[in-house]
Every structure is written in structure tokens, then in C-alpha cells.
Structure 1
Amino acid sequence: MLMSRYETSNHLTPPRVANGRVADSASGDRFIASRSATDFDYAHHLLTETQRKTGDGESSCSPSKLAYRKIMAENLTGRSGDGNTRILHYTGKAPANSHGFQSHVRAVYTRVHSPMAKKTNRVIPHVPERVLDAPEVVDDFYLNILDWGVSNHLAVALGGAVYVWNASSGSTSQLPIPESEYSDTVASLAWDQNGQYLAVGKGNKHVELWNVEKMKRLRVMKSQNARVQCLAWNSHILASGSSSGSIHQHDVRIPDHHIATLNGHSQGVCGLKWSPNGKYLASGGNDNVVQIWKYDSTRQQEPHLTINQHLAAVKGLSWCPWQPSLLATGGGTADRHIRLININSGQCIKEVDTKSQISGLLWSDVHRELISSHGSPRNQLTIWKYPSLNRVCELEGHTGRTLAMSMSPDGDRVVSIGADETIRIWNCFEGAAVAAKKKAKKSIADTFTLKRNLIR
């Protein structure tokens, strides 16, 4: 049987016919309501719209509510009530700025940021990477018994013996010093700039030169009249400072090695450092004085600059690698201050109280930081940010005061020796070796480019 055109799937009865016209199917059956076909939201809208047009809605409101509606309408559409004068109008353009007006807000929010990655704080291990034994170490603040050479060999003086640790292979060897000389304490050590020769300052007033690869003593230089407490190389010139306060300069190439004597300290010299360009020698003494000596062909024997700002012995000395005229100095127990000195003006440009004795200072070229080694009360190593000298972190582990400190040739690590008879290696400047390799490659590339341009 065929379906009628009025039959649907929801079985509605035929619609009502009025005045010859079929009623709208949306209104449903005239006897049974169809909820599925009814739009209640639309029905509610029709009811409320009818009330609004007839005025029923307004008549039901209180006079105060009607007054509120009128005020709101005037504020939104204008006094005339014209809908075209709305305050919030989206179709029109913004009015033009007055002559010479500049929007600072627009400049801020339209700034183009560079694609440079954000700097992240590196993680500095607070425990040593390696701990080595140092039995019979001499607990003397004024000695310099540790040095790490460019050949990656670490030299350590323990009593009258000298040990050399190969950081690459981990092997250890001992200089063949006769046992009869063990009573003469080794007071200072210094590798030459090529890492081939080791200078050894002795308690018997002598300075010895050793070829470590061949394990052979090359010569003994006798000129000092007291214990040699510190040594510093400048190419073929070796400076030695003694407990008497005198500084001798030795030319190791010639038989008559003693070429100059620098007398500027009234007490023992415990710190010696040449500037990176080799033009200046800084010396620190137990007389609380720092002397700056200018090296030239005339062998000038008068100090270029005298610094009297410390209140204790000055052992910690370190030249800034990227600013040749800047020297960092550190005082002993009664002073405890790190000072940054401009040797051109003689002024202290920054200082900080470390609260403990300072036995050594070193710069990190890559991270632009300064590290200091300390004695009582915490025997720690502290890293400082340049130029603010804000404390970055502290490395603790020594149970006795630190006596000396040195940096690895790649700049990544720092080694410290303490009165607790331990040597601790800290990986506190990681990344310096990678940066140094990039810098070396860039230097080679620049040199190659220069030569190629010259050939053309």
C-alpha cells in the first residue's frame, strides 16, 4: 500500500486545514503535541518579543528600572538614541594622531626580538671530580707547591719530594731527587710556558730546572739568600721570590743567569705573577704590599706601582686575561678582601670581603669569573662573577685550609691542595675547552684568509 504524502516517520496525523491552506507542520498536531519537532528556545523568543512590542515587558518594570534603562541607552547610543552614534563602533577607523605624537606602547609591543637563544645557568658540580692523596704535605701558607702545566702534567711538592701526575693517562712519577736532599723542603713549583721544564724552588735557597720527560735535572741556580717561596716564568726569564723579600730574575739561556734583583718588599715574597703580555710582574709579600714591576730591556729595578690597601700578606695574585691592566689581589687572615686593581691608575675599582683567608686566585676567560681558595673557617673555593663580584657558588670538601690552587690547561678544571693531605679536582668551568677550540679554529681561519688576500 502506498503511503500518503502526509505520512512521515514520526506518524503525525494529517495537518489541520484552515481557509483552504495547510497549517505549518512545525506547529505539530492540533490534538497531540510533538516535543521532538518543537523549538522551545525559539518559542520563548517569540513570547518575549511579543511582550516587548506590546509594551507588556516595560509596564511590568518598576519606575527606577525604567530610568536606569533609559540612562544606559543614552550613554551607549548617544543623547539622540541614534544607533549610528555608538561609542563602541567597530566599522570606523581610529582618529588620526596629532602632529608629532609617538606611541610608546606600540613601540614596546611591536619590538622584533632577536633569534638568540636564552642564556641558561650552567650546573656547577659541588663535589670534586677526583680526590688524590697528598701525604706529608707541608702546611705553610706562604708556599706554592702545586702547578698544572700546559702539557697536562700536575706537579705537586710533598715535603722534599716532587710528584708529577699525568692527567691524560693517570700515571704518577717522582722526580729522582736524591734522598739526602729530602730534608730540604720544596717550597715552590712552576712549569714553563711550553710545559717542558719544571722550576723547583728549594728551602736551601736554590732554584733547580728539570726536564720532566727525561727525568733529568738540568741545572741548579744559586743566587738567593733565603728560601725560594714563589716562581714565575716569562718566556726564558724566570723570576724567583724569597722569604727575605728579594726577587731575582734569571735568564735560563745563559751561564750567568742572575740578571736583576728587585728589592721592594721588607718581608718575604709569597706571590709572583707575570701579566699575560709579559710587560709587568706583580709581587705580593708578607709586608701586606703589592708591587708592580715593569719589565723592559733596561731591567728597571724600581717598582712601577705600589699598592698598600691590604691589611695582611698578599699571596693571591691573578691577571685578568681579557683586560691586561686589571689585577686581582687577595689578602690573608687579617684582610680577607679580594680587590680588583687598575694598574694604570692605581685605583681599586671593586672589592669584596670574603670572610676568610685567601690563598689563591684564578680567572676563567670563557665564563668571565674569578675563583678564590680559602682557609679558615670553611676551607672552601668560591666562584665570583665579574665585574660585580657577586658570589656564584662555593665548593666545599677540604677539612683543612687550602694551600695552593691551579687551573687545567683547557680551563675546565681547577685543582686545589689542602692541609688535610688531599688534592681535589673540581670541574667548575666546563665548556672552556670547547670555547678555546672554537677560538683556535677561528684564529687559524682568519690567518688563512689574511694570507690568501696577501697572495692575491
Structure 2
Amino acid sequence: MHSSSSSRNISSGEKSPMKALSQNRTPGSSKTPKSKSNSGKSKKQPKTPKTPTAGDRFIPNRSSTQFDVGYYKIMNENLAKKDEADTRSPSQVQYQKIMNENLNGEILSSKIISYKAKPPTAPEGHQNSLRILYTSSKNSQCKKLTRHIPQTSDRILDAPEILDDYYLNLLDWSANNQLAVALAGHLYLWNAGTGEIKQLTEMESSDAYISSVAWVKEGNYLAVGTSEGVVELWDVFKEKRLRSMTGHSGRVGALSWNSHILSSGSRSGHIHHHDVRVAQHLQGNVAGHTQEVCGLRWSPDGMYLASGGNDNLLNIWAAEGGRLVPQSQPLYSLTYHQAAVKALAWCPWQPRLLASGGGTADRHIRFWNCNTGSNVQSIDTKSQVCAMLWSAEHRELISGHGYAQHQLTIWKYPSMTKVAELTGHTARILHLAMSPDGSTVVSAGADETLRLWKCFAGSEQKKKAEKNNKALVPGMIRLSTIR
């Protein structure tokens, strides 16, 4: 009934209120009705769609598709309910996560299907000449942080006659807060708590010199390498030499402890492993380098030994129970660096991650996954890399450099953005060491100075540092002499 009445109203021509309102408008305000006919005007032709540059059918590229990752994700979703009843501790879950990242990379965030082929990778060492004019990324700038990093050294110690030799390791800081530094043929200890300085030993021959020092983890014994190929073991509390271990045919430029095993690297390219508890101390002898061994570091868990040499080679050796597996060849022999490899540092929170730095002709810091031997990341520092240290608290890396600025650079890992640059040395930085609490870094330079930097101080340590700085006369530098 309603439909029939409405049709009669429309057909009878009765005016609706809206029509009446439209008739009251002025002629100028009324809109011209659109003509339904096509006379006088032609329809607009639709625009031709642009041809997609990457394909319009989105057909996956089978050569770039990660089928294994896809299968893993599907199976991982199916087992999600079973994982809810997992009884593992948070530390075990974190450990397994780190191991998965080291072995397989970041799987969960990776793409499975690829719709276009990846461009070919450039060969190692390739320099793009167009990058000078057209670059896709900006140079890394110093990142602003909430914590305060002093730009000047907290203290300066005079170190006369320190040898300007890139291949030696003449500085180390003990767990008992004693700093050992070798100045030519003399070995000095500086107590960072009391400021006391004493000479521990002196070479008998005027031509001989100390070429390396290394504290045992507990800090009560000090290993000393000499230019005569001898490794000495000292009890610093009794100021007594416990033993002298011979066997090297050249100077001993690198030392590293692994519990009771002391490893030493020499100019001949050989690495000796000494058990300091027994009379027959030599437990192993490997020749992994054709030139001088200048870098030697055991991993924190004692499972790997990294050695760097003047032959531009980085070797990684495997160990079981604190002893090297009997072998004539390293587990991995890595040839990416184009200069001597001295700077070595194991990551404290990822024990399978190793950082290595190259000399003047290389200038790169590289990161290695020691489970696979792969180079996971690298960065060009634009200057010689002489030494490196990790900060476990701030998850940062500090590196000491040579020409041209002789600076210390703090990097945020893994983004490798610059956090700060610390300058003050007038010659290249030779060695770095960290205090037991991880707050202070000491740098030894070829300008015969040791500089202490409070670059990793916490909030409480920052307040103490500011309080001490207020007590100092402005412009004065506390200067002591190690001699």
C-alpha cells in the first residue's frame, strides 16, 4: 500500500518540500543539471596505469625464496602451544636465543618470499667511485646519550721510554686494581687506589727489554714476556720471580691466560702453551703464523683462542677443557684483514663473538661468529686500530687509534654508531686496559703518557667524579711520573 501511494505522488507531479526549497533559490545559486546525453561532450578517457617497475603479478623468485625459514616458521607455530608448558629458566631461554642468533641469524624477522632478485654483491675491498658524490647513507655521527662522558682525561701519568712498537703489549690492569706497565727494560706497578708506584723488575742486559705483560684473572700473578724469548712468572705481593720458561726463538710480544694455562706468541710465529703448575711446562706448540704474533686472546669461557699476526692473518683455535685440541691447523684461518691484526676483544655477553682490528693498511673493525667462522659485520674506522675493549654494562666497544687524530672512539654495538670521541694524545695510542669495575679505561700512547678516562662510569661514580673535579683548581692536570 505504501509503495503504490508513493508512486502516485511521484507521477502526479506533487512538489516535495525539497523541490519547493530549490525553487526559492536565486537563479545564480542554482546548479545546472547534468545532461544525460553525450551531445557536445565526450567521455574522458581513463588514464593508462603506470607499468610497475618491480613486476605487477608479484611472482616469487624461487632462487631467492627461503624455503627452510618458511618451514621453520610453520613448525614453530604448530609447536607454540607445547612451548607454553616450557619449564626452562629465563637464563636458559636467553642462552638458547643467543645461540640461535649466532648460528642462524635473526630468523623470525626475516622474509620468506622474495619478489625480485637481489643485486650482485660487490667483491671484497671494492671502492665505489660514485659514492663520493652520491651516497645512500650519512656518515655516523656521535650519538647523544643521557649519561655524561668526560671529554678530557681524568688523570695523566708520565711514561718515559715506553716503546713505540705496534706489535708489543706493554699494559695490563689487574683484578686487584694494580696497573702493570713496561718501560723499555723496566717493569712498574701503579696502585690505582693509593697512587703508589714501585718497580718490580729490571732487565739485566741493557739491550734487552720487556715485550709483553699479562695478569692472571685473580690478579696475584703477573706473566712477563721479554725480548730474549723468555716468559717469566712473578708473585707481585712477594715481589719474587717464581720461574722462567724458555723455548721461544724470538721475542714474546703477546700473552694470554686461560686458568692455569699461559699462552705466549713470539716473533717466529709460534704459539706456546705453558702449564705453570708443573715442571714440564710446555704443553703445546703450534705454528699458525708466518710472521710475528702480535695479538693473543682466550675467550671468556676458555673454548677458543684467537691469534693475530703481522701476516694479516686471524686464526681461531678450538679448545676442550682449557686445553687446545691437538692439531696442526686452526679451526678457522681468516684472511679478510689487509694489515697486521693486533687488536682482539671477545664480547663478554656473547662468548662466541670476536672483534678484531687491522693496522694502517686495513683500518677495519670486524666482528666474527666463531661458531661458523663468518664475518657478521665490519666498519671502516679511517685510521689504524691499535687496541679494543668491551663495556659489558653499556654494551659498547672502545677502540684506540693512530694517525691522524690519535683518538679513542666509543661505539654502540651492534649499530656501530659513534657515541663519543676522546682526544688528548699527541701520538698514536698503543695499548688499552680497563679497571676492575669497568668504569675507567687507561690508554698508553707513543707520546709517553698514560691517560685515564672515566668513560664508562655509572651514576654514583659520576657524582664522585664531579665532586673530585670541583676540588681541583680549574685548568690544572694531575700529573704523576712512573719511574
**Fold shared per TM-score above 0.5:** yes
Structure 2 residue runs without a partner (length 5+): 1-23, 30-143, 462-483
Give 1:406's aligned residue: 433
Which residue is 1:150 aligned to? 175
What is the correspondence of 1:265-344 to structure 2 with a 5 Å cutoff?
265-296=289-320, 297=323, 299-301=325-327, 302-344=329-371
Residues 204/378 of structure 1: CA separation in 2 closer, same or farther (3 Å cut): same
How far 1:298 sits from its partner (Å)?
A: 6.5
TM-superposition CA deviations, 1:176-207 (whole Å, max 9, x none)? 335x3343111100000110011000001000
SS of aligned partner of 2:365: strand
Q: Secondary structure at the match of 1:392?
A: strand
Q: When the two structures are superposed, what TM-score results if normalisation uses the length of structure 1? A: 0.68
Number of equivalent positions: 321
| Deviation at residue 174 of structure 1 after TM alignment | 0.3
In structure 2, what is the Cα distance between the partners aligned to 1:428 and 1:214?
33
Higher relative contact order (CA 8 A, sep 6+): 2
Residue 280 of structure 1, CA deviation: 0.5
Q: What whole-Å deviation, never above 9, does each CA across 1:3-41 have from its counterpart, x for those lacking one?
A: xxxxxxxxxxxxxxxxxxxxxxxxxxxxxxxxxxxxxxx
Residue 65 of structure 2: aligned partner: none
Shift of 1:433: 9.1
Asked if 1:166 is matched to 2:191, the reply is: yes
Verify the 8 A CA contact 1:289 1:310 in the aligned structure 2. Answer: yes
Q: State the distance in 1 between where 2:324 and 2:147 align.
A: 47
> Paired residue for 1:131?
156
Determine the C-alpha separation between the residues in 2 that align with 1:432 and 1:414.
Answer: 17
* Structure 1 residue 207 corresponds to structure 2 residue 231: yes
Question: Structure 1 260/433 Cα, relative in aligned 2: closer, same or farther at 3 Å?
Answer: farther
CA contact (8 A) 1:271 1:284 kept: yes
Query: What's the RMSD between the two structures over aligned residues?
Result: 2.0
Matched position secondary structure for 2:420:
strand
The percentage of aligned residue pairs carrying the same residue is 55
The question of whether the paired residues in 2 share the 8 Å contact of 1:242 and 1:268 is answered with yes
Choose 1 or 2 for highest CA Rg.
Answer: 1
CA contact (8 A) 1:412 1:432 kept: no
Q: Distance in 1 between matches of 2:444 and 2:145?
A: 31
For 1:200 and 1:370, the matched residues in 2 are separated by: 27
Structure 1: stretches of 5+ with no match in the other structure: 1-65, 72-118, 435-456
Residue of structure 2 equivalent to 1:176: 201
Matched-pair contact (CA < 8 Å) for 1:130–1:425:
yes
Aligned AA (2:370): I
The reply to whether residue 377 of structure 1 matches residue 395 of structure 2 is no
Write the distance in 2 (CA, Å) between the matches of 1:400 and 1:319.
26
Aligned to 2:34: none
Listed one character per residue, the Cα deviations across residues 294-340 of structure 1 (whole Å, up to 9, x for unaligned) are 11256423311111100000000000011111000000000000001
Q: 2:182 is matched by which residue type in structure 1? A: A
Q: 1:416 aligns with which of 443, 449, 471?
A: 443
Structure 2 counterpart of 1:388, which letter? S
User: How far apart are the structure 2 equivalents of 1:393 and 1:131?
Assistant: 20
Residue 221 (structure 1) aligned to one of 238, 245, 264:
245
Q: Which residue of 1 aligns with 2:394?
A: 367
